[in-house]
Amino acid sequence: MSTGYYILQQLINAVSIGSLYALMAIGLAMVFGILRLINFAHGDLIMVGSYAALLLLGLNVPFWLAALAAVLVSVIFGLLMERVAYRPIRGAQDVSMLLTSFAVTIFLENLAIIIFTPKSRPFPTPEFLRSALTFGPLRISNLDLAAIVVAVILLIGLTFFITRTEMGIAMRATSQDNLAARLMGIDVNRVIMAAFIIGSMLAGIVGLLWSARVGKIDPLMGFNPVLKAFVASVIGGLGSIPGAVLGGYVLGTLEILLQGLLPSSLSPYRDAFVFVILITLLLFRRNGILGSTEREKI
């Protein structure tokens, strides 16, 4: 295979995995922007959606319907999380909110372990996602293609939402200045619920693509994606939506790049190299690429 094709092939891989990170990171960014809450339980929304899909596919429900229901289940859990766990402690210290999100994670994961056992189960990836398109030496799996297309559609929709709709503008306003937003009569509760709905919806969609890619699901499957999404949003600037998207693609590219460049003896340590790069970045831009350069007021 020529170098040009090889690079193009790797680029497609990077954009595909980067799309998943970006979509996950958006949910974290929206919630953090408004509530200063790092919602680690965001990863478990992937898990609940994937189990919902698994159960429905087991009942021979058509894939599109199972997918739709899975996303809906993620959204319901996201809203429940907000209402039951986060709303009562709104305005508490950042650390308390972070710990609460750990509690939600532990609760949901153990609930899944009780119901589904800790064993992983094969995820019945539908046939049309398993095949691939080939252009000469270039091979694009339908899954990569689906991830990229879905991400492009969702990002266009999201851009329209946050720049054109009243709720989207209100969301940006609230994340910039909560008090001023309240003084304008913005319904902050509704804004927060909208952030959870959109974030959970994206997590549910990512969950389907992730499970189809990995081929199996288990109760702790949300940890890896939420960690990646967190790293992506730190790279881009925590709380910034464009930053989350950029960070997702930067992280995806970094991973694929390191995978290609590292000698095979070092490739198990790929993540360590990613974190070295992250730390170096934060030394120079402590608020991420698109985060404000302003120092925090003390």
Partner 1 sequence: MLKIENLDVYYGHVHALKGISMEINQGELVALLGSNGAGKSTTLMSISGILRPKAGRITYDETDLTRESTRAIVQRGIVQCPEGRRIFGGLTVLENLRMGAMRRKERSNLSADLERVFGLFPILGQRKNQSGSTLSGGEQQMLAIARSLMADPHLLMLDEPSLGLAPIIVEEIFNVIRNLHHQGVTILLVEQNARQALEISDRCYVLETGRVVLSGSGDELKANPKIENYYLGGSAG
The per-residue DSSP string of 5-17 comes to: HHHHHHHHHHHHH
The nearest distance, CB 74 to partner 1, in angstroms, is: 29
Helix axes 223-236, 270-284, angle to 10 degrees: 30
CB of 121 within 8 A of CB of 217? Answer: yes
The nearest distance, CB 267 to partner 1, in angstroms, is: 41
The nearest distance, CB 183 to partner 1, in angstroms, is: 5
The nearest distance, CB 239 to partner 1, in angstroms, is: 11
Q: Footprint of partner 1 on residues 29-58 (CB under 8 A)?
A: none
185 binds partner 1 (CB under 8 A): yes
- Cβ distance to partner 1 smaller for residue 20 or 181: 181
The nearest distance, CB 172 to partner 1, in angstroms, is: 6
CA dihedral 245, 251, 252, 257 (to 10 degrees): 140
Considering only the stretches 42-50, 101-109, 146-154, 184-192, report the one whose residues sit in contact with partner 1 under the rule CB under 8 A: 184-192
The nearest distance, CB 166 to partner 1, in angstroms, is: 7
- Cβ distance to partner 1 smaller for residue 87 or 182: 182
- Cβ distance to partner 1 smaller for residue 187 or 271: 187
Q: At 152, give phi and psi (nearest 5°).
A: -60, -45
92 binds partner 1 (CB under 8 A): no
Instruction: Report the b/e string of 234-249 with b at 16+ CB within 10 A.
Output: bbbbbbbbbbbbbbbb
CB of 100 within 8 A of CB of 83? Answer: no
Cα–Cα distance measured from residue 257 to residue 38, given in angstroms and rounded to the nearest whole number: 28
181 binds partner 1 (CB under 8 A): yes
- Cβ distance to partner 1 smaller for residue 242 or 260: 242
- Cβ distance to partner 1 smaller for residue 37 or 162: 162
Q: Which of 68, 173, 193, 289 binds partner 1 (CB under 8 A)?
A: 173
The full 3-state SS of 25-76, as one line of letters, equals: HHHHHHHHHHHCCCCCCHHHHHHHHHHHHHHHHHCCCCHHHHHHHHHHHHHH
170 binds partner 1 (CB under 8 A): yes
132 binds partner 1 (CB under 8 A): no
- Cβ distance to partner 1 smaller for residue 131 or 292: 292
165 binds partner 1 (CB under 8 A): no
59 binds partner 1 (CB under 8 A): no
The nearest distance, CB 87 to partner 1, in angstroms, is: 14
The residues binding partner 1 (CB under 8 A) are 166, 169-170, 172-173, 176-177, 179-187
